[in-house]
């Protein structure tokens, strides 16, 4: 048997908690200043009760016959009552404190039980290769193993931490967590455990910890070698069941979780690559067979329309044919761009601010008609090494998506600036936004949401062009909160 650690938790009505170590027997509770737990409160007798250790059993014994004493809501008899972990002690109906008896991290069988839970959690985490399912199991397992009241999973996207939500779950607008702790763990790659935050002197306490009245925070990095891919954040407004969590076990669980997440990502990336390859091969075959007939159809329709009188009703039908052929021609261009048959990049230093203006100039009438306000914050002089026509296509696709999302009007903000050898370009709208399950699929080819005439290739092409330039693209969105697309492009030397 290993040594038991026994404590008494004293919680006030306003949420603050103090934890006292029971390190002697008997342990006196009363209003007497010399008591082991002095409580100078109304209704507390000088020698109210004591906790006595009898072998491996702790017993609560009343000392003042006239003073009320209860255990888990029942009156304690004169001979006393045995205490168990999480037992509630009462010192009378008007006593303004909540007392809880804790036996923590104590016996060998307790550790064996936790190891069994750890193995069950590990088996669950590694039994799926679906990324969303794996992430959900990682979070559920961490909450179960730690005994925390709540938990969140943050994944690293560049230098930012993005909270993961389950598919179909609408994320709340604000999540009250201590982000400073999560960010420190992501930066250092080391776990952080904080307990009795309102009681322990000399410990750094952030504003969010005080505001949330948290008593325990446990934050574990999800690391692969030296790279932190995410953070598991757990907290509680009362101390965790195990006052000193077994951090080596939790880190082992987090390491296994990180491997499972990475394996799921690799499987999904492999499937996406294979699907893209097949689609590209199919696209090339279709485009080569379709382009010539489309050109013939459009030419003949245009010729027939020119020969018809102005009032002939057939002219409108021919105009419809021409418009649809143009749409199909645009689709074939998208297919070629998406496949590997697109021409090689012709890079040159390009002022990014000028590209933004070139994109917006032909769209000015549509912006006015759609009642969309434009906010430009463009850092002049910032140049990127890029194929200008391809980058114009990226900007056009992003702005067109924003306008589609703001059919009732809104604001479109475009900003660019230089930072650490990169050009950061942001396109933000105040449109309808996207649920999380849509945001995750936004780069999948032929996936379209909310656009009846969309090809589903716009964002897939955006990512392909940006990655061909050695850059990255990220999308943030939520229903009713608009969408923000961030491009990170290498600047010209």
Q: Who contacts 77 (Cβ-Cβ below 8 Å, separation ≥6)?
A: none
Q: Who contacts 394 (Cβ-Cβ below 8 Å, separation ≥6)?
A: 461, 462, 465, 466, 487
Domain over 5-104 is classified CATH 2.60.200.20: yes
Model pTM greater than 0.85? Answer: no
Separation between Cα atoms, residue 255 and residue 258, nearest integer Å: 5
So what's the pLDDT on residue 426?
94
Q: Which CATH number fits domain 108-266: 3.30.70.2190, 3.40.640.10, 3.30.450.40, 3.40.710.10?
A: 3.30.450.40
Fold of 348-490: Heat Shock Protein 90 (3.30.565)
Widest CA span of the chain, in angstroms? 112
Residue 162 backbone dihedrals phi, psi, to 5 degrees: -115, 125
Residue 460 backbone dihedrals phi, psi, to 5 degrees: -65, -40
Separation between Cα atoms, residue 328 and residue 323, nearest integer Å: 9
Q: Is residue 230 within 8 Å of 262, Cβ to Cβ?
A: no
So what's the pLDDT on residue 398?
92
Q: Is residue 374 within 8 Å of 430, Cβ to Cβ?
A: no
So what's the pLDDT on residue 117?
67
Q: Is residue 125 within 8 Å of 263, Cβ to Cβ?
A: no
Q: What are the strands of the beta sheet with 87-90, ordered from one edge?
A: 17-21, 5-12, 97-104, 87-90, 70-71, 74-75
So what's the pLDDT on residue 199?
45
Separation between Cα atoms, residue 458 and residue 442, nearest integer Å: 9
Residue 272 backbone dihedrals phi, psi, to 5 degrees: -65, -40
Separation between Cα atoms, residue 418 and residue 135, nearest integer Å: 34
Q: Is residue 235 within 8 Å of 195, Cβ to Cβ?
A: no
Each domain of the chain, given as residue ranges in start order, spans 5-104, 108-266, 269-338, 348-490
Joined together, the tokens standing for residue 391 give 């980058």
Q: Is residue 72 within 8 Å of 57, Cβ to Cβ?
A: no
Q: Who contacts 183 (Cβ-Cβ below 8 Å, separation ≥6)?
A: 161
Mean pLDDT for each 10-residue chunk of the chain (493 residues)? 71 72 90 91 91 87 90 89 86 84 62 66 74 80 80 82 71 67 87 62 51 78 86 80 66 82 82 73 72 85 86 83 77 66 78 91 86 92 87 89 89 90 91 84 75 70 87 89 91 78
Read off the DSSP letter of residue 491. B
Long-range contacts for 19-22 (Cβ within 8 Å, ≥24 apart)? 19/102, 19/195, 19/196, 19/199, 19/239, 19/243, 22/51, 22/58
Q: Is residue 384 within 8 Å of 349, Cβ to Cβ?
A: yes
Q: Where are the alpha helices (DSSP H) in 177-239?
A: 179-188, 207-212
So what's the pLDDT on residue 61?
93
Dihedral sign from CA coordinates of 430, 434, 439, 441? negative
Separation between Cα atoms, residue 459 and residue 473, nearest integer Å: 10
CATH class of the domain whose range is 269-338? mainly alpha
Residue 61 backbone dihedrals phi, psi, to 5 degrees: -125, 125
Of 160, 140, 195, 152, the C-alpha closest to 176 is 152
So what's the pLDDT on residue 14?
63
């Amino acid at each position: 048997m290993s040594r038991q650690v026994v404590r008494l938790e004293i919680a006030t009505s306003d949420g603050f908690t103090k934890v006292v170590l029971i390190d002697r027997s008997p342990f006196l509770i009363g209003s007497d200043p010399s008591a082991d737990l002095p409580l100078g409160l109304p209704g507390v007798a000088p020698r109210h009760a004591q906790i006595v250790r009898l072998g491996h059993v702790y017993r609560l014994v009343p000392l003042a016959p006239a003073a009320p004493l209860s255990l888990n809501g029942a009156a304690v008899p004169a001979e006393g009552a045995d205490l168990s972990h999480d037992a509630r002690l009462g010192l009378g109906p008007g006593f303004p404190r909540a007392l809880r008896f804790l036996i923590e991290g104590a016996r060998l069988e307790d550790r064996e039980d936790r190891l069994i839970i750890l193995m069950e959690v590990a088996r669950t985490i590694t039994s799926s290769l679906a990324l969303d399912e794996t992430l959900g199991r990682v979070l559920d397992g961490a909450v179960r193993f730690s005994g925390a009241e709540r938990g969140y999973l943050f994944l690293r996207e560049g230098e930012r931490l993005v909270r993961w939500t389950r598919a179909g779950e609408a994320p709340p607008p604000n999540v009250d967590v201590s982000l400073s702790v999560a960010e420190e763990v992501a930066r250092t790659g080391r776990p952080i455990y904080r307990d009795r935050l309102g009681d322990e002197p000399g410990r750094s306490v952030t504003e969010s910890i005080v505001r949330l009245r948290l008593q325990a925070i446990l934050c574990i990095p999800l690391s692969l070698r030296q790279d932190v891919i995410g953070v598991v954040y757990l907290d509680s407004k009362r101390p965790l069941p195990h006052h000193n969590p077994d951090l080596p076990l939790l880190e082992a669980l987090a390491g296994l979780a990180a491997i499972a997440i990475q394996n799921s990502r690799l499987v999904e990336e492999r499937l996406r690559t294979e699907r893209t390859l097949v689609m590209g091969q199919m696209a090339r075959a279709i485009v080569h067979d379709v382009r010539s007939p489309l050109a013939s159809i459009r030419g003949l329709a245009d010729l027939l329309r020119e020969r018809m009188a102005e009032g002939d009703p057939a002219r409108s039908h021919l105009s419809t044919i021409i418009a649809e052929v143009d749409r199909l021609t645009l689709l074939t261009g998208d297919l070629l761009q998406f496949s590997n048959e697109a021409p090689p990049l012709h890079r040159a230093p390009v002022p990014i601010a000028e590209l933004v203006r070139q994109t917006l100039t032909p769209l000015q009438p549509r912006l006015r008609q759609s009642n969309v306000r434009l906010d430009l914050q463009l850092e002049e002089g910032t140049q990127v090494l890029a194929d200008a026509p391809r980058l114009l296509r990226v900007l056009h696709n992003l702005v067109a998506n924003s306008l589609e999302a703001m059919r009732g009007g809104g604001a479109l903000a475009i900003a660019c600036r230089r930072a650490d050898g990169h050009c950061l370009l942001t396109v933000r709208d105040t449109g309808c936004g996207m649920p999380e399950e849509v945001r995750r699929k936004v780069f999948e080819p032929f996936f379209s949401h909310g656009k009846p005439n969309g090809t589903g290739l716009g964002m897939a092409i955006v990512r392909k062009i940006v990655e061909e330039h050695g850059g990255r693209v990220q999308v943030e969105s939520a229903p009713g909160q608009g969408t923000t697309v961030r491009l990170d492009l290498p600047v010209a030397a």
